[in-house]
Amino acid sequence: MPPHRHSLGGVEQLHDTDHRGFASDNYAGTHPEVLEALVAANGGHAPSYGADPYTERLQGRFREMLGDQVEVYPVWGGTGANVIGLQAMLTRWGGVIAPSIAHINTDEGAAPEKVGGFKIIPVPTDDAKLTPELIRRHAGSRGVHTIVPQVVSITQSTELGTLYSVDEIREICEASHELGLSVHVDGARIANAAAALGVPLADMLPGVDVLSFGGTKIGAIGAEAVIVRNPDAVTGTEFLRKSTMQLASKMRFVSAQLLALLDDDLWIRAAAQANAMAARLRKGVADLPGVRFTQQTEVNGVFAILPEGVADRVREHMAFYDWNTETGEVRWLTSWDTTTADVDRFVGLVTRFCRQ
């Protein structure tokens, strides 16, 4: 039996705990400080469905960060957070303007439309970012025969690893509000963006009405939150969380994870590590023959095209995904637990196969 396969509390360990790759930050395990928080929250009885002291403290923590008007709704997953937040912002005839490559449009199994009951209005964009001009172009409605745009949804950082500046978000919010549209941010990787921008969360999101705050990708087991910054922009959020099956009965364990991430800026420290490893990876392969990059590397994602056959050979040793099979584009994602040794080994593999 391999040395990594041993029993822990009666559960056999089935994977190599020394192995890490570049397929997804969802592949990473749970941060030790988050596990410690779960242990601290365990034992004895505590009220269920959010009436516990950990959820109360989480509410207070976010209010310290974002203002006393903020409402916080911890949930299990990012898809649920997006569906709840957007559904609370819309009427039944409302639509959401979003980049065509946005996660809510391409990778959530149509949950926003099936469960949320609203239409995504996809906007083509090369860098996965919206602009005020693109929003204005798609904000009109032709009456009862078409969906009525009511919300703009942006992703920070984006599906292509690109980043909105603070000024870009401010301009998007100003343009959207002038058009009578509310603004939602899918923040599955909001920590990576915050670490890259180096500004407080409140200053990073000027004018944003609702945020999906992601914790899972930076060290939580499964902990996200719908953060309502503008209560006037939503209706019924507390009821929607239950009806969309995102109301955790033992919510103290969800809230404890988020509290651990916020404590001593663990969410920033974890994300900064991932960002730094992506920068190191890109620098390591930048001068190799036949390697070219398709996007800027601003957070924890590197998008590149490799010489023919190289990707499959490297993938025999370390995991990552194709992004566009037609062009040969691949995506490498670093995680909170990615080490310099992981990156250097990967760079060595890419170097070896590119030069053969």
Alpha helices in 42-165 (DSSP H): 53-66, 78-89, 103-106, 111-114, 132-138
pLDDT tens track for 18-31: 899 999 999 999 99
- Does pLDDT of 8 surpass 70? no
Diameter over CA atoms, the chain = 67
Say what percent of the chain tops pLDDT 90: 92
Say what the pLDDT of residue 140 is: 86
pLDDT tens track for 173-219: 999 999 999 999 999 999 999 999 999 999 999 999 999 999 999 99
pLDDT tens track for 265-282: 999 999 999 999 999 999
- Does pLDDT of 39 surpass 60? yes
pTM: 0.95
Local confidence band at 141 (pLDDT 50, 70, 90 cut-offs): confident
Encoding tokens for residue 309?
Answer: 């056959």
Contact (CB, 8 A) for 182 and 176 = yes
Separation CA 350–CA 188 (nearest Å): 29
Say what the pLDDT of residue 143 is: 80
Separation CA 252–CA 53 (nearest Å): 8
Say what the pLDDT of residue 6 is: 63
pLDDT tens track for 74-106: 999 999 999 999 999 999 999 999 999 999 999
Say what the pLDDT of residue 3 is: 52
SS3 60: helix
* Rounded (10°) angle between helices 251-262 and 32-41: 140
Separation CA 248–CA 111 (nearest Å): 19
Say what the pLDDT of residue 11 is: 82
Say what the pLDDT of residue 163 is: 97
- Does pLDDT of 1 surpass 50? no
Separation CA 92–CA 96 (nearest Å): 12
Local confidence band at 233 (pLDDT 50, 70, 90 cut-offs): very high
Strands (E), the chain: 7-8, 11-12, 71-75, 94-99, 119-123, 148-155, 182-187, 210-214, 224-228, 292-293, 301-305, 321-324, 329-333
pLDDT tens track for 298-340: 999 999 999 999 999 999 999 999 999 999 999 999 999 999 9
Separation CA 59–CA 47 (nearest Å): 16
Say what the pLDDT of residue 214 is: 98
Separation CA 301–CA 275 (nearest Å): 8
Local confidence band at 4 (pLDDT 50, 70, 90 cut-offs): low
219 or 10: which carries more pLDDT confidence? 219
Separation CA 251–CA 322 (nearest Å): 36
**Mean per-residue pLDDT, 232-237:** 98
The CA dihedral of 322, 323, 327, 332, to the nearest 10 degrees, is -70
Domains of the chain, each with CATH number or no CATH = 7-28+266-354 (3.90.1150.10), 32-264 (3.40.640.10)
Say what the pLDDT of residue 157 is: 96
Separation CA 90–CA 349 (nearest Å): 49
